Amino acid sequence: MIALAIDHRNFTAAILDDGGDFISRVECPAPAGGYRDWLVAVCDLVAGLNGVSPHMHVAVAVPAIISGGNAEITPLANLAGADLRRDLQSALSREVFLTDFGAALTAFHAGISKTDKPLVALWIGSSCHGGLAANGGIVTGAHGAAVNWAHLQLPAPVPHELDGRPCWCGRNGCVETFLSTSGLEEDYERVTGDRLTAAQIATAASGNDIVAESVIQVFEDRLGRATATIISLIDPGTIILGGNTPMPERMCERVPRKWPGYVQIDRSNTRLTWCEAGHGALLRGAADLAAARRSG
């Protein structure tokens, strides 16, 4: 199986064997051009893989809501209005299966999880996505939008969080505008006037930078409120943080301390953990979902 992950900043491609191990893997920065340039970049990535055979199908993870087998709602402007599945099948001359980041991350962890309790996976990057596994399968919902947590309003906002932050979806004040890497970077810039990456802010906080530390603490509190809402609705056994979550070990330790103030009952049985596999989890999860669809 060939697997692809198309993100705001990077494209990644890999060949996986039947056991989910990587045989070959390559990546490149997202092209600066338009949609056609993106299709060319994907073709070049696949051509650069070692071990490609004519019978291989392609599983693609994209930051989008997948409806009718295609990417219908996405923060990637280059993909807006495009028939991505059709165009990739034409460009690659292969059958293509699309899945969203949340479902792919969830499928990866559901495959290695030993619990039968609901599992929620949250991808935090330039955009944010969620997925749900329950009753032995991935739950996508009636519109492919299950656990579309990023476009809820931020729970229990304080006055300065009601500043009408615009979101790419056309609404204001979505969770994603606060809990994405770009949201973190904008918070830091509002305070300091300087623009640092999320990784640089996390490094500064680890080095006892007071401003960076305060920005990270605010991020923790907001993530606590957002995940508490998910707990109240779904009551999962595990919540997975993936993507570029800043200081993930610290988040997993401190965020659950926020929950008692926002949930009704004792939630000590819900475990918050993080995914170290990065885009590799998206590739493996997308491949697993594509294989399940083909066999189904």
Task: Compute the distance between CA of residue 263 and CA of residue 267 in angstroms, rounded to an integer.
Answer: 8
- Other CB atoms within a 10 A radius of the CB of residue 173 amount to 18
Of the candidates 132, 135, 126, 127, the one whose C-alpha atom is nearest the C-alpha of residue 145 is 132
State the average pLDDT for the chain.
92
pLDDT band at 269 (very low <50, low <70, confident <90, very high): confident
CB of 62 closer than 8 Å to CB of 100: yes
Phi, psi of 139 (to 5 degrees): -100, 115
Q: Mean pLDDT across the stretch 260-270?
A: 82
pTM: predicted TM-score of the whole model, two decimal places? 0.92
| Residue 233 CB contacts under 8 Å (≥ 6 apart), including other chains | none
pLDDT of the residue at 114: 61
Give the tokens for residue 267: 């939630």
Q: Domains of the chain, with CATH numbers?
A: 2-101+279-295 (3.30.420.40), 104-274 (3.30.420.40)
Q: Mean pLDDT across the stretch 132-152?
A: 91
Where is average pLDDT lowest: 2-6, 55-59, 112-116, 155-159?
A: 112-116
Give the tokens for residue 294: 């083909």
pLDDT tens, 152-205? 999 999 998 998 899 999 999 999 999 999 999 999 999 999 999 999 999 999
Evaluate if residue 113 carries a pLDDT over 80.
no
Give the tokens for residue 171: 């609404």
- Other CB atoms within a 10 A radius of the CB of residue 271 amount to 16
pLDDT band at 112 (very low <50, low <70, confident <90, very high): low
Of the candidates 204, 205, 276, 196, the one whose C-alpha atom is nearest the C-alpha of residue 244 is 276
pLDDT of the residue at 222: 97
Evaluate if residue 267 carries a pLDDT over 70.
no
